[in-house]
Amino acid sequence: DTGVSQDPRHKITKRGQNVTFRCDPISEHNRLYWYRQTLGQGPEFLTYFQNEAQLEKSRLLSDRFSAERPKGSFSTLEIQRTEQGDSAMYLCASSPRTDRVEQYFGPGTRLTVT
């Protein structure tokens, strides 16, 4: 299967701990996106990379959140000092090139902060 993969699929952590999620996009997709989805809502955009450059950040991405895509391939999303309000599904998507608008999503990482 050559779809977008995310690891882990589930994460339970205690408030105040740091967590890191990984996303592997579809091979040769140079655009990578992170979204957050809470219950009853659609996904909300967090940040976007073209190759290794982080080009856009949503105001939802507080200072406790940081994302990287060091070699333009996989990406990591780290949340420091987690809060209960960070509990959500974190989705990663990738997109092939500038003339295509569709984004292909991974299965997501469900974070529960206790």
Tell me which residues in 49-68 interact with other proteins (CB under 8 A). Answer: 50, 55-56, 58
Tell me which residues in 8-37 interact with other proteins (CB under 8 A). Answer: 31, 33, 35
Tell me which residues in 83-102 interact with other proteins (CB under 8 A). Answer: 91, 93, 95, 98-102
Nearer to other proteins, 20 or 58 (CB): 58
Alpha carbons 32 and 105: distance in angstroms, whole number: 10
Q: Quick count: other Cβ atoms within 10 Å of Cβ 57?
A: 15
CB 109 → other proteins: shortest distance, Å?
10
Q: Which helix (H) or strand (E) holds 89?
A: strand 88-95
- Looking at residue 84, the DSSP 8-state letter turns out to be G
